[in-house]
Structure formats: C-alpha cells, structure tokens
A = this chain, B = another copy of it.
C-alpha cells in the first residue's frame, strides 16, 4: 500500500531546463504517475490543479525566483503540496534549510531515476496523509462556523470539562440556557458524545497553532 502511487496525483515539475523536465516526466509516467512541467514558478502558479493531490519537484536555480525562497512562499500562497528540491549546484546549508522548511527530499543533480521515484512516492504519501487529516479538520471548522457566539462560549467551557452549573455561573446564565446552547452545539457539531466533542475541540485548537 505505501508503494501505490495514486494515478490521480499530479507531480508538478518546475525546472527551466526543458529537456530535464521532459525526461523526468517520462520516467515518472513510466511508473504510472501523472507529471506536468513548468519552466518557471510563475507558470506553475497559473496552473489550475494546485489544490489537487500531488507534489512539487522544484529546481533551485530558476529564472527570477530562487527555489528555496519559493518553497517558503508556497505556505503563504496556500499551496500545501509537499516539495522535493533538486539542484545542480547546491551545498549543505541549502539542503539543511530546505529540510527545515519541510521539504520531503533534496536531490543533487545528477540523481538516479529511482531516487526521484522514491522521493515522489514518499511525497505523494505524505500528501495523502496531510489531506486525510486536513479534510477532517476542515469539516470540523465548517461546522464550528455555524455556532453562534454564545454557543461557542458554552462549548469551550464544556470541552474544558466544566459542569453545566459552573458554566451557568461563569457566564451569568441559568442552567437551562446553558443546556440549550450545549445541546445546539452538539447537534451543529455533529458530535454523538462528549468524547467526540472534546476531540473536535482539540482539533480546532491544533489548527490555530
């Protein structure tokens, strides 16, 4: 299962060397992977499938942009695809910087085809895992968005483990009102038990960090 690259995943190859990009493309296609090539970061950013499953294979020396800088910019641009960096003239500090920034791998050119295949496979797996947890988290955030302000206050205290009576005291409400907000919160969040709700609350907190 870990070595089952999904056909629906797209490998975005960003390299100004067209020959290398095409070569890489066919290597990846030969193992059943979709590949798209771009000659610049600008061209890449115009692609319409940056939200689709996949990963990025990024050259460091690019016209205009630096690959390492671009890797860090991607976060701000909302592109969460795992990144593999490659370079013909890299050094250790560059690779360390890239890995610290979360790169999946850093391959000096020339590299063996198999090394790139392994890196891409790992990247796509990482993307799959990211997506799975992201999907869950987004669903929870969406539901949380439907809560009224008061409901959120109450749910916060509920997930902190307080009793309805305490919550009523802290918010200056009657216990009945707390129960109503609590019930509404559970329904809106789709929580079938308090344990459920606590875990959702923790997921929400993780996303804020």
Binding site for B on A (CB under 8 A): 90-93, 95-96, 99-100, 105-106, 108, 158-162, 192-196, 198-199, 202
Cβ contact within 8 Å between B91 and A161: no
CB distance from A177 to the nearest CB of B (A): 21
Residue in chain B with minimal CB distance to A163: B193
Cβ contact within 8 Å between B196 and A161: yes
Give the chain B neighbours of A96 by CB distance below 8 A: 95, 99, 105-106
Cβ contact within 8 Å between A162 and B100: no
Extra 18 A-B pairs, beta carbons < 8 Å, given A160-B195, A194-B194, A194-B195: A92-B92, A92-B95, A92-B108, A95-B95, A95-B106, A96-B99, A96-B105, A99-B99, A99-B100, A158-B195, A159-B195, A161-B193, A161-B194, A161-B195, A162-B193, A194-B198, A198-B198, A202-B202
In the bound complex, CA of A90 to CA of B106 (Å): 15
Selected contact of A108 from candidates B93, B99, B192, B194, CB within 8 Å: B93
In the bound complex, CA of A193 to CA of B197 (Å): 14
In the bound complex, CA of A195 to CA of B163 (Å): 11
In the bound complex, CA of A202 to CA of B195 (Å): 11
Give the chain B neighbours of A193 by CB distance below 8 A: 161-162
CB distance from A98 to the nearest CB of B (A): 9
Give the chain B neighbours of A161 by CB distance below 8 A: 192-196
Q: List 19 A-B contacts (CB under 8 A).
A: A90-B92, A92-B95, A92-B106, A92-B108, A95-B96, A95-B99, A96-B99, A96-B105, A96-B106, A99-B99, A99-B100, A158-B195, A161-B195, A194-B194, A194-B195, A194-B198, A198-B199, A199-B202, A202-B202
